[in-house]
Chains A and B, each alone.
Chain A
């Protein structure tokens, strides 16, 4: 017969102050790990959830972001009239040539941000249905009007609708705000293609976005673009293109691993301390249990269960603490384009289960040695007072 779990709960309650402190200690550790995982998840999802599998991004061969890509307008025409590109009602291809430049703007918390400005056209909204105007109106091309992502508004100075800002030495007007969900576009400012190309004196394209008729058409366009030696371009689905940029979270991943491993070891020691304390003060109880007929392995598993209960509640506390940060918005640098990327912390079910699993591993390692020691308590100890 196994020792009832109720016994473990009661034992923990007897030393409730110690139990509480150990649970909180594990909770804080798990909390940090959950928040870091939520950040990594949020940043990665910003890239991997951007776009549609039928949308193709075409950039210069070898360019890893739109900021370092540029090609001449003749390549633009060669690509957009390829067969397999969706045509609109006027039989024009559903494709948009864009130019991306980076500007410095003052951050609200001090310092400067590098913000990507995308010169595009009306068609951009057809190709990116996730982008919606939420205030003001769309930009009109040719008159230097800007629309700004809502998420940028919280971080960068002077971007409210109606404000005038100076970019590249000339005045521009903010005429609208857009919402791009949690996609990579939520960190951008949009305006007309010619406005950027003329102001920056760069009559080139950074990228071309087009919609393929089907998955097969997308494949064949990709092949034709990358095999055409004249244009030196590469085509990716929007998802493929942005998933390259998840390299931006590499620093966070290093940080999370470092913190998780070191604090995990520290928490193991804390659990061991608590559990050794339990074993020491319950030697007589253990001997009594043995006298009642419980086997050594029952004692071992009972103490292990106790350590797991401890760490489980620690994990739960950590998940709760971590969940408070769900949706919190932060910014970092997109390491591929060196422009600022705004993302939201996402405490997803995967993040929470990882946090709990981590807590249980800590409990298991921390509980193992004390549980083994509990099994060495001999029957005669019941006689010692």
Chain B
């Protein structure tokens, strides 16, 4: 480590080249951090103590099948179930088809028991429960469209042949969706569909709150057991498992991202290797002098590898940390209509970038440093660059 000054001086000898190389590595690491964050978020949907207690019940065949509303009472009787609500995808569109966001028609009587993680005042809770055409919206969603308490809004559905007029009765903060969802009354929704189809009384999901975390597995099994031989069998998953099965539908995206990251790493190695090769070649004679002064081969090798590592790790720091700062201020949930709810460069991703930096640093200098260290001193001293 006593040669750290020498390493730094060597790097600063050609400031422009060092700057360009570090920048090139930094932007690539920025990209890697971004892509890894996408992967992390896809693989690890948000989970809180409250969301871990939530189960999603859907039809056993697929999430496009409907379940009779009568299932609700049967689920409520299952041992370990604290509360259960029906929930139906509404597919709301506000004014323009591009203004699309997550929206569900839900039973309001036990809604706040299933979603205790939504932060909202008692008055607003009651107002939402009382008003059959009331809507509960997330803070971020309300901001996006400039909605305030008491506003009346018209929403079209891109899934059902209905339009609703709703009054905003509550605005919540928090939640695993970070305030990007709209909830309306299931009764109201059901009534409109009944007018359209004659009969309805069906739903796609039931959301269940379990009494305690250790009951999650057994309650899921008991719910599915209850309906196993009925004409509407169910599949019960945790909220997290359900979100994972949705991202799983994106198919080969994960493989694609992983492949891109690998190719980018390879490209970074090439850039860094080019710089190290140029810089070591220019210093052939100097390295000869070092060896003439008594430096061992191993020391020379270490010096050059240290230089390369410092170069690549500077790039990692300048790429990964800004990514972390930049994304911490990003409302990704709003951009993706709630599909991805948070976008955070985790410590794991930072560590991964660090590991990539070390691999790049060693790989970039390995060949030229080895050659330089092995070169006979006399020959190195004689060389003209």
Do residues B248 and A18 form an inter-chain contact, with CB atoms below 8 A?
no
Give the distance to chain B from A37, nearest Cβ to Cβ, in Å. Answer: 13
Q: How far is the CA of A91 from the CA of B137 in the complex (A)?
A: 55
Q: Which of A251-288 contact B (CB under 8 A)?
A: 251, 255, 258-259, 262-263, 265-267, 269-270, 272-274, 276-277
Do residues A276 and B16 form an inter-chain contact, with CB atoms below 8 A?
yes
Do residues A340 and B17 form an inter-chain contact, with CB atoms below 8 A?
no
Do residues A102 and B64 form an inter-chain contact, with CB atoms below 8 A?
yes
In this complex, the interface size class of chain A, counting residues with CB under 8 Å from chain B, is 35 or more
Known A60-B161, A68-B159, A276-B17: A259·B270 in contact at CB below 8 Å:
no
Do residues B273 and A21 form an inter-chain contact, with CB atoms below 8 A?
yes
Do residues B260 and A32 form an inter-chain contact, with CB atoms below 8 A?
yes
| A25 contacts chain B at the CB level, 8 A cutoff | yes
Q: How far is the CA of A203 from the CA of B303 in the complex (A)?
A: 78
B contact residues around A103 at 8 Å (CB): 61-62
Do residues B271 and A232 form an inter-chain contact, with CB atoms below 8 A?
no
Do residues A168 and B267 form an inter-chain contact, with CB atoms below 8 A?
no
Q: How far is the CA of A265 from the CA of B161 in the complex (A)?
A: 48
| A22 contacts chain B at the CB level, 8 A cutoff | yes
Q: Tell me if A's interface is mostly helix, strand, loop or mixed.
A: helix
Known A21-B270, A62-B158, A112-B248: A269·B64 in contact at CB below 8 Å:
no
Q: How far is the CA of A259 from the CA of B231 in the complex (A)?
A: 48
Q: Which of A54-68 contact B (CB under 8 A)?
A: 60-64, 67-68
Known A21-B277, A102-B62, A266-B27: A28·B267 in contact at CB below 8 Å:
yes
Do residues A340 and B156 form an inter-chain contact, with CB atoms below 8 A?
no
| A129 contacts chain B at the CB level, 8 A cutoff | no
> Residue B62 contacts which of A104, A111, A259, A333 (CB distance < 8 angstroms)?
A104
Q: Which of B265-294 contact A (CB under 8 A)?
A: 266-268, 270-271, 273-275, 277-278
Give the distance to chain B from A336, nearest Cβ to Cβ, in Å. Answer: 9
Q: How far is the CA of A9 from the CA of B368 in the complex (A)?
A: 24
Q: How far is the CA of A31 from the CA of B16 in the complex (A)?
A: 28
Q: Tell me if B's interface is mostly helix, strand, loop or mixed.
A: helix
> Residue A232 contacts which of B17, B28, B161, B260 (CB distance < 8 angstroms)?
B161
A contact residues around B268 at 8 Å (CB): 266
Known A28-B267, A270-B271, A330-B251: A258·B31 in contact at CB below 8 Å:
yes
Do residues B263 and A32 form an inter-chain contact, with CB atoms below 8 A?
yes
> Residue A273 contacts which of B24, B248, B253, B264 (CB distance < 8 angstroms)?
B24
| B30 contacts chain A at the CB level, 8 A cutoff | yes
| A173 contacts chain B at the CB level, 8 A cutoff | no
Do residues B267 and A272 form an inter-chain contact, with CB atoms below 8 A?
no
B contact residues around A25 at 8 Å (CB): 267, 270-271, 274
Interface-centre pick from A64, A263, A269 (highest chain B CB count, 10 A):
A269
Q: Which of A1-49 contact B (CB under 8 A)?
A: 17-18, 21-22, 24-25, 28-29, 31-32, 39
A contact residues around B23 at 8 Å (CB): 266, 269
Give the distance to chain B from A116, nearest Cβ to Cβ, in Å. Answer: 10
Do residues A114 and B27 form an inter-chain contact, with CB atoms below 8 A?
no
B contact residues around A67 at 8 Å (CB): 64
B contact residues around A214 at 8 Å (CB): none
| B233 contacts chain A at the CB level, 8 A cutoff | yes
Q: Which of B13-45 contact A (CB under 8 A)?
A: 16-17, 20-21, 23-25, 27-28, 30-31, 34
Known A18-B278, A21-B270, A101-B64: A330·B24 in contact at CB below 8 Å:
no
Q: How far is the CA of A21 from the CA of B91 in the complex (A)?
A: 51
> Residue B158 contacts which of A64, A113, A167, A332 (CB distance < 8 angstroms)?
A64
| B73 contacts chain A at the CB level, 8 A cutoff | no
B contact residues around A61 at 8 Å (CB): 161
In this complex, the interface size class of chain B, counting residues with CB under 8 Å from chain A, is 35 or more
Do residues A32 and B270 form an inter-chain contact, with CB atoms below 8 A?
no
| A368 contacts chain B at the CB level, 8 A cutoff | no
B contact residues around A294 at 8 Å (CB): none
Give the distance to chain B from A66, nearest Cβ to Cβ, in Å. Answer: 12
Nearest to A115 among chain B residues (CB) is: B62
A contact residues around B328 at 8 Å (CB): none
Do residues A330 and B252 form an inter-chain contact, with CB atoms below 8 A?
yes
Do residues A263 and B264 form an inter-chain contact, with CB atoms below 8 A?
yes
| A84 contacts chain B at the CB level, 8 A cutoff | no
Q: How far is the CA of A219 from the CA of B358 in the complex (A)?
A: 64
> Residue A266 contacts which of B16, B28, B248, B249 (CB distance < 8 angstroms)?
B28
B contact residues around A263 at 8 Å (CB): 27-28, 31, 264, 267
| B48 contacts chain A at the CB level, 8 A cutoff | no
Q: How far is the CA of A103 from the CA of B61 in the complex (A)?
A: 6
Do residues B31 and A114 form an inter-chain contact, with CB atoms below 8 A?
no
Do residues B263 and A270 form an inter-chain contact, with CB atoms below 8 A?
no
> Residue B249 contacts which of A28, A68, A169, A333 (CB distance < 8 angstroms)?
A333
Per-position binary interface string of chain B over residues 59-76, scored 1 when its CB falls under 8 Å from any chain A CB and 0 otherwise: 001101100000000000
Q: How far is the CA of A24 from the CA of B269 in the complex (A)?
A: 11
A contact residues around B61 at 8 Å (CB): 103-104, 167-169
Q: How far is the CA of A245 from the CA of B16 in the complex (A)?
A: 48
Q: Which of B225-274 contact A (CB under 8 A)?
A: 231, 233, 245, 248-253, 256-257, 260, 263-264, 266-268, 270-271, 273-274
Q: How far is the CA of A177 from the CA of B315 in the complex (A)?
A: 53
> Residue A169 contacts which of B64, B231, B250 (CB distance < 8 angstroms)?
B231
Give the distance to chain B from A142, nearest Cβ to Cβ, in Å. Answer: 21
Give the distance to chain B from A251, nearest Cβ to Cβ, in Å. Answer: 7
> Residue A262 contacts which of B20, B31, B278 (CB distance < 8 angstroms)?
B31
A contact residues around B156 at 8 Å (CB): 62
Give the distance to chain A from B256, nearest Cβ to Cβ, in Å. Answer: 8
Nearest to B252 among chain A residues (CB) is: A330
Further 17 A-B residue pairs, CB within 8 A, beyond A18-B277, A103-B61, A277-B278:
A18-B278, A32-B264, A60-B161, A63-B158, A64-B158, A68-B158, A102-B62, A111-B248, A112-B248, A113-B251, A167-B61, A266-B25, A270-B24, A270-B271, A273-B17, A330-B251, A332-B252
18 contacts between A and B (CB under 8 A): A24-B270, A28-B266, A61-B161, A68-B91, A111-B248, A114-B62, A168-B65, A258-B34, A259-B31, A263-B27, A266-B31, A266-B271, A269-B20, A270-B270, A270-B271, A273-B20, A273-B275, A332-B252
User: B: which residues have CB within 8 A of A?
Assistant: 16-17, 20-21, 23-25, 27-28, 30-31, 34, 61-62, 64-65, 91, 156-161, 231, 233, 245, 248-253, 256-257, 260, 263-264, 266-268, 270-271, 273-275, 277-278
User: A: which residues have CB within 8 A of B?
Assistant: 17-18, 21-22, 24-25, 28-29, 31-32, 39, 60-64, 67-68, 101-104, 111-114, 167-169, 232, 251, 255, 258-259, 262-263, 265-267, 269-270, 272-274, 276-277, 330-333, 338, 340
What are the nearest 9 A-B pairs in CB distance?
Answer: A269-B24, A332-B251, A25-B270, A331-B251, A28-B267, A102-B64, A21-B274, A333-B249, A104-B62
